[in-house]
Structure 1
Amino acid sequence: MHSDNLSKQINFIKEIDKIKYIQRRTKLFNSNRHENDAEHSWHLAMMAIVLAEHSNTPIDILKVIKMVLIHDIVEIDTGDVFLHDTTLNHTNTEAETIAAKRIFGLLPQEQAEELISIWEEFEAGQTNEAKFAKSMDRFEPLLQNASNQGGTWAEYNVSYDKVFDTAKGIKKGSETIWNYTENLLNESVEQGIL
């Protein structure tokens, strides 16, 4: 029994190594190098730990960390969809659900069910933990773009209104971080990078 579980867990660990190859459009802070999904997920986990006190509501930080560490694993199969893509929808798709079931399904059943449930909770964005996790997911690329003279905003000619519209979800998880974000966006406009 344990050896079967261990074998499944090792297979999952090997499979998720592929997330390191999924390139995002955003670049590392003050850098020309694109971030990969593994770096993004790690950074969100650290942000959640450091910024948890700014959540609008009490949260289970371990659950938030699990959410941000696994939220993009489906992109191993589906690829990364750029947040400001005008042709693809950046919401949960049937392909992502299939990917979640395949990848998490490599694990022993109980673990697979737990991670699929956590992934679905993140995607739905209704619980306090999901709202805060999604706030982190929206906040990180804003910080990156501001540090890179507009980054993907400039590169893909993304308007202030579009950035503001996608960023405002931060407010659901943290009013404090949303206030910081609004100031950051206004400063970016003043600097001519948004």
Structure 2
Amino acid sequence: MTGARAGGVLDFVLLCGELKRTKRTGWVNNNVTLPESISDHMHRMGLLAFLCDDKTLDKTRCVKIAMVHDLAEAIVGDITPYDGVSKEAKEKMEDDAMKSIWTETLQDSEAGKELYELWREYEDASTPEALFVKDLDKFEMICQAFEYEKAENRPGGLQTFFDGTEGVFSTPQVKSWVEELKSRRKGE
């Protein structure tokens, strides 16, 4: 394996552009006025991962996982549990998409392989870093819900997003952030 050729890199960059244009389905389905894109979500996740202060975790790996965790959605879209697609079918579609990015778009390059392996690590929740990023994914979502509730004067209007994350956080740092968010939300 070598680096991706210029044509593959350009194809990858253009594919990533889909993440900038695709709005997150959960917000669209909840009639949010200006819903964030998948790319918006991934960017803030990368910044959150940068704030990791757990010395037992590889912060750089956390940032990388955060930056690729939804990359398959550039091809398959943002599929939610309410879209009528089984978890197994979604997993296969996304795995096929990531393999395509690696082997076709990035032409079996080392970078393509790393993207796939980081994504697989996240999907399998196979490392402490992946578990941390999974917590970040849920935390970022409820932060976004809180922002939309404030911006659109919908106090408690996106409660289902909070309900869906109740009791699921596992990492101490993210748990502390969640408690702060809940405290602020109650005070609003």
Q: TM-score, normalised by structure 2?
A: 0.77
Q: RMSD in angstroms over aligned alpha carbons? A: 3.2
Aligned residue identity for 1:47:
L
With over 3 angstroms needed to count, the CA separation of the structure-2 counterparts of 1:66 and 1:87, relative to structure 1, is: same
| Alpha-carbon distance in structure 1 between the residues aligned to 2:146 and 2:132 | 21
Indicate the SS of the match to 1:63: helix
| Alpha-carbon distance in structure 2 between the residues aligned to 1:35 and 1:190 | 25
Aligned residue identity for 2:75:
D
Q: Percent identity?
A: 21
- Give the CA deviation at 1:111: 2.1
| Alpha-carbon distance in structure 2 between the residues aligned to 1:190 and 1:89 | 38
- Give the CA deviation at 1:103: 2.0
Indicate the SS of the match to 2:36: strand
- Retained in 2: the 8 A contact 1:26–1:144? no
- Give the CA deviation at 1:175: 1.1
More strand per residue: 1
Indicate the SS of the match to 2:106: coil
With over 3 angstroms needed to count, the CA separation of the structure-2 counterparts of 1:163 and 1:114, relative to structure 1, is: closer
1:163 aligns with 2:165: yes
Q: Which residue of 1 aligns with 2:149?
A: 149
Q: Which residue of 2 aligns with 1:124?
A: 124
- Give the CA deviation at 1:6: 2.5
Q: Which residue of 1 aligns with 2:181?
A: 184
- Retained in 2: the 8 A contact 1:8–1:108? yes
With over 3 angstroms needed to count, the CA separation of the structure-2 counterparts of 1:100 and 1:26, relative to structure 1, is: same
| Alpha-carbon distance in structure 2 between the residues aligned to 1:42 and 1:129 | 17
Q: Which residue of 2 aligns with 1:77?
A: 75
| Alpha-carbon distance in structure 2 between the residues aligned to 1:3 and 1:114 | 11
- Retained in 2: the 8 A contact 1:19–1:36? yes
- Retained in 1: the 8 A contact 2:138–2:165? no
- Retained in 2: the 8 A contact 1:23–1:34? yes
| Alpha-carbon distance in structure 2 between the residues aligned to 1:122 and 1:2 | 24
| Alpha-carbon distance in structure 2 between the residues aligned to 1:160 and 1:43 | 18
Q: Which runs of 5+ in 2 are unaligned?
A: none
Query: Any residues of structure 2 matched to 1:47-126 within 5 Å, and which?
Result: 47-49=48-50, 51-53=51-53, 55=54, 58-82=56-80, 85=82, 87-89=84-86, 93-105=91-103, 106-109=105-108, 110-126=110-126
With over 3 angstroms needed to count, the CA separation of the structure-2 counterparts of 1:190 and 1:86, relative to structure 1, is: farther
- Give the CA deviation at 1:87: 4.1
With over 3 angstroms needed to count, the CA separation of the structure-2 counterparts of 1:59 and 1:108, relative to structure 1, is: farther
> Which of structure 1's runs of 4+ aligned residues deviate more than 6 A?
1-4, 150-153
- Give the CA deviation at 1:190: 7.9
Aligned residue identity for 1:93:
E
Q: Which runs of 5+ in 1 are unaligned?
A: none
